[in-house]
Structures are given as C-alpha cells and as structure tokens.
Amino acid sequence: DIQMTQSPSSVSASVGDKVTITCRASQGINTLAWLQQKPGRAPKLLIYGASILQTGVPSRFSGSGSGTDFTLTISTLQPEDFATYYCQQAHTFPLTFGGGTKVEIK
Amino acid sequence: QVQLQESGPGLVKPSETLSLTCTVSRGSISSYYWSWIRQSPGKGLEWIAYIHHSGSTNYNPSLKSRITISIDTSKNQFSLNLSYVAAADTAVYYCASSNSGRLDYWGQGAVVTVSS
C-alpha cells in the first residue's frame, strides 16, 4: 500500500493567516485529493488531481505538487476553515489517506 | 448533487456480520463507482471497497477475506457486509461516490459499535 504522511499534525492559526499543509507519498503518484472534515461531519472533497478545485470550493484553497510531495494552501484563513484536512492518493488501490492535519484557532 | 445515506444496525456482536446499506438519491447508481470507507480513532480513514453498477468490485486486501459488497440498481442502493467483526471494526462507516479514485460525495456516516 502507498503510505501518505502529512505534516504538521496540527497547526494553530488566526483568521486571515496563510496556512500550508504538506503531504508526502511513499512512492510517486499521479493524482492526489484533499478533503476537509469538521467535527461530527463527513469528509468533504476540496481538491482533486492535486490542484483542481471541486465545484463550490472557495478560491482561497489551492493545491500543488507532483510525484511524492504535495501541498494544500489556504491563502487567507476564514472562521469556517477551522477543521481537519486529509490528503488521499487516488493513484492506485487500495486508496489511502494521510493521518490528518488539524487547523486550530490560535 | 448526489446524496447518500447509510443505514444499518448501530450495534453488532463480536464474531457476527456487520451489514450496512447506502441509498443513493438525486442521481443514478448507474453512474460512477461506489465506495465504503470507515474512520476510527485508532486507524484514521480506511478505504474498504468499491463497486460499479456492472458488478465490478475492488476490495482492500486487509479486509478482503471478510467483505462482501453488492449493488441493487432497482433500488438505487449498494451494501456492505463485513463478517467476523471484532472490537477493532468499531468505527464510523461512510459510503461515497467514486470517480477516478476521488471520493466526490459522502453520506453522513453510520456509527457502528462492536460489543457484546
């Protein structure tokens, strides 16, 4: 299985801050997704294909990267963005997820 | 957009079979692939399996020996059976639509506890 490693595991930030989360795959992959999960809710797809925003996702979210190293950036953190973010490789089955990054209020 | 809803018992005894159904609405089950994913505090998010309306399936090798997944196109539903459950199978179980490996839309989740 492809192992997905996220860092940091948590980050404290303020509204208006720029936040960057990284995800590293144990081998090269050709497609990666980012998901957002709020407490008590199901994960929600934000980005797929490493950089394509899902319909309805605000443009302050962006994704980049290729091969083994990927990044999710929130350009200007909003109150509704405090959540846990997961990367997920869609290169091969079984699909696998990172351990999550919790974005907390500073 | 597609909506999904999981249903099934919230409590299952050890060694018995966990059975869940996902009902798809506002879309046809004859589109996309359909996945089951679970989330537990100890193991995080774990993809379980997918099924296509054609009957094509793909299972996580770690669970393959215990999984049966099926689809009923007439009811717009797909189902998961996980046999010989243990405490480690306690989790929130989600169904989701799958498209080229991405998980577009998710159900709200079903909490399943394995306990006697």
List pLDDT tens digits, range A64-102. Answer: 999 999 999 999 999 999 999 999 999 999 999 999 999
Which of B50, B61, B108 comes nearest A42 by C-beta? B108
Residue A102 amino acid letter: K
Please judge whether A33 and B102 are an interchain contact, meaning their C-beta atoms are less than 8 angstroms apart.
yes
Residue B1 has pLDDT above 90, yes or no: no
Residue B76 has pLDDT above 90, yes or no: yes
Residue B78 has pLDDT above 80, yes or no: yes
Q: How many CB pairs under 8 A join A and B?
A: 57
Please judge whether A33 and B103 are an interchain contact, meaning their C-beta atoms are less than 8 angstroms apart.
yes
Rounded to a whole number of angstroms, the distance between the first and last alpha carbons of chain B is 39
List pLDDT tens digits, range A29-57. Answer: 999 999 999 999 999 999 999 999 999 99
Q: Which two tokens stand for residue B30?
A: 């004859």
Percent of chain A residues topping a pLDDT of 90: 98
Q: Kindly identify which residue of chain A lies nearest to residue B6, measuring between CA atoms.
A: A42
**Which site among A5, A93, A96, A102 would you substitute to test the B interface, given the most B Cβ atoms closer than 10 Å to its Cβ?**
A93
**A19-29 and B91-99 as β-strands: parallel, antiparallel, unpaired?**
unpaired
Distance of CA B105 to the CA centre of its chain: 13
| pLDDT for res A70 | 98
Residue B100 has pLDDT above 90, yes or no: no
| pLDDT for res B104 | 94
